[in-house]
């Protein structure tokens, strides 16, 4: 039992979006002492654009970061403000339908901009850099973390937000007597690039391609490939991700001596999408030096928590990006943990009980989002037998399949978790 007059020491390993958002919320509460440890010398995010569904936008608001997010987020102009993506056949740009997220539409930011906006609000002394966790031990009422620089840190609760290659995950799975889980290569690679929106507009005009395809986020679908576009940097840039899947191996393996991200060439990228419509071809021709990303995810974990150590974000449920849901799931994790820990009554509970409630509520949903993110890629790349060769049915499925994801009731999650803890419901 914790002394109700003492503070709870909560430490976070990993300074990505989920970890920093959690730290920012927790440090507002006097009964919590918060520390965040980041292995890199400074905060930083890889990648370019990141998209947030309606559920993630609600989590952002619930975490108290709606204002900084709103200052940098991109959205569609009227009258397309509620459209998430328009769906098109990549071979001829034929319109298949659209997915509508009322009141949100395509809400997206540049990853690094979002992290900068969050990190700039952290009070001094919360974050420490150059701290890579090497070993975790639970000793009675405390967790002890040893870092690669030889230093140690003790806390009451440790949250691993250290990404898909998490070292904290190993401690959790070992504690659960489960085999370790390593990132697995999906067989899909993604060419990424950012295009000046005015440059793309001029290129489309020159080739007679409708400029509407710049103004509204697009997803071009094809056999074993798909391409998405949406604006970032307040519409000044267009984020492009062109996915290509190699299905020749049932269990593909990415070479261990090859980085997951490398520079590619435009020629390589264009060859992968030969025969696609001008709308896609011109888009790719505007990216002279794309990067190539090998997409990895995690198998569903049997648990996110062991004792006083828990996992959030990609450390727990790294997923493929095909529903634009990965970062949002990390924010949902952070929101629920923050809402549970903000109540001073948790000091009268065993800290591990809070993590157990978090695990019981969050893991089923996050696992479902992992599964359906893979299934979305199969759908986009014409590998779902239920809609094969039926464009009308494909359009209908695409228009409806995200509703459960976006309309999730996080308040119900909180109510369930608080009931597990024997606490009365509170408004969040």
Q: Does 67 fall in a domain?
A: yes
The count of domains in the chain is 1
What is the overall mean pLDDT for the chain? 93
Q: Does 329 fall in a domain?
A: yes
Q: Is the pLDDT of residue 5 over 60?
A: no
Q: Does 38 fall in a domain?
A: yes
In this prediction, what percent of the chain has a pLDDT beyond 90? 84
- pTM (2 d.p.): 0.94
Rounded to an integer, the average pLDDT of 314-318 is: 98
Expressed as residue numbers, the domain containing 127 is 8-77+107-182+299-378
Calculate the CA 223 to chain-centre distance: 25
Least trusted range by pLDDT, from 14-23, 97-106, 153-162, 218-227: 97-106
Q: Does 391 fall in a domain?
A: no
Rounded to 5, what percent of the chain is helix, strand, coil? 35, 25, 40
Distance CA 25, CA 36 (A): 12
Q: Is the pLDDT of residue 392 over 50?
A: yes
Q: Does 203 fall in a domain?
A: no
Rounded to an integer, the average pLDDT of 406-421 is: 96
Distance CA 217, CA 324 (A): 13
Q: Does 309 fall in a domain?
A: yes
Tell me if 269 sits within 8 A of 85, measured CB to CB. no
Confidence tier at 426 by pLDDT (50, 70, 90): low
Q: What is the set of active-site residues?
A: 192
CATH of the domain at 57: 3.50.50.60
Distance CA 16, CA 329 (A): 13
Three-class SS of residue 224?
A: coil
Q: Does 49 fall in a domain?
A: yes
Residue 389: predicted pLDDT: 78
Confidence tier at 75 by pLDDT (50, 70, 90): confident
Distance CA 140, CA 309 (A): 13
Tell me if 31 sits within 8 A of 344, measured CB to CB. yes
Q: Does 388 fall in a domain?
A: no
């Amino acid at each position: 039992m914790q002394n109700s007059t003492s503070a709870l020491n909560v430490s976070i390993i990993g300074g990505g979006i989920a970890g920093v958002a959690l730290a920012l919320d927790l440090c507002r509460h006097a009964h919590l002492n918060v520390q965040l440890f980041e292995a890199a010398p400074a905060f930083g995010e890889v990648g370019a654009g990141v998209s947030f569904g309606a559920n993630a936008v609600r989590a952002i608001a619930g975490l108290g970061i709606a204002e900084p997010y709103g200052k940098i987020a991109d959205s569609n102009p009227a009258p397309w403000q509620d459209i998430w993506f328009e769906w098109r056949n990549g071979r001829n740009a034929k319109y298949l339908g659209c997915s509508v997220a009322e009141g949100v539409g395509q809400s997206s930011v540049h990853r690094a901009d979002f992290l900068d906006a969050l990190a700039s609000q952290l009070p001094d002394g919360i974050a420490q850099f150059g701290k890579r966790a090497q070993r975790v031990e639970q000793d009675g009422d405390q967790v002890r973390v040893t870092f690669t620089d030889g230093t140690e840190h003790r806390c009451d609760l440790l949250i691993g937000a250290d990404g898909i290659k998490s070292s904290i995950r190993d401690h959790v799975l070992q504690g659960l007597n489960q085999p370790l889980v390593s990132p697995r290569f999906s067989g899909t690679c993604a060419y990424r690039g950012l295009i000046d929106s005015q440059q793309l507009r001029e290129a489309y005009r020159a080739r007679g391609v409708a400029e509407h395809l710049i103004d509204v986020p697009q997803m071009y679908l094809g056999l074993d490939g798909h391409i998405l576009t949406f604006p970032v940097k307040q519409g000044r840039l267009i984020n492009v991700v062109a996915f290509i899947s190699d299905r020749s191996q049932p269990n593909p393996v990415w070479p261990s001596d090859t980085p997951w991200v490398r520079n590619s060439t435009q020629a390589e990228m264009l060859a992968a999408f030969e025969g696609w419509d001008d709308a896609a071809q011109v888009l790719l021709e505007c990216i002279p030096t794309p990067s190539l990303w090998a997409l990895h995810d995690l198998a569903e974990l049997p648990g996110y928590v062991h004792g006083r150590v828990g996992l959030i974000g990609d450390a727990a449920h790294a997923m493929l990006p095909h529903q634009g849901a990965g970062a949002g799931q990390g924010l949902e994790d952070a929101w629920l943990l923050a809402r549970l820990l903000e109540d001073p009554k948790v000091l009268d509970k065993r800290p591990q009980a809070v993590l157990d409630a978090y695990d019981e509520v969050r893991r089923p949903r996050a696992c479902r989002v992992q599964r359906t993110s893979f299934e979305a890629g199969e759908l986009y790349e014409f590998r779902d037998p239920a809609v094969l060769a039926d464009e009308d049915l494909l359009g209908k499925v695409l228009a409806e399949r995200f509703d459960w994801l976006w309309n999730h009731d996080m308040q119900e999650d909180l109510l369930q978790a608080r009931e597990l803890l024997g606490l009365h419901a509170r408004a969040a």
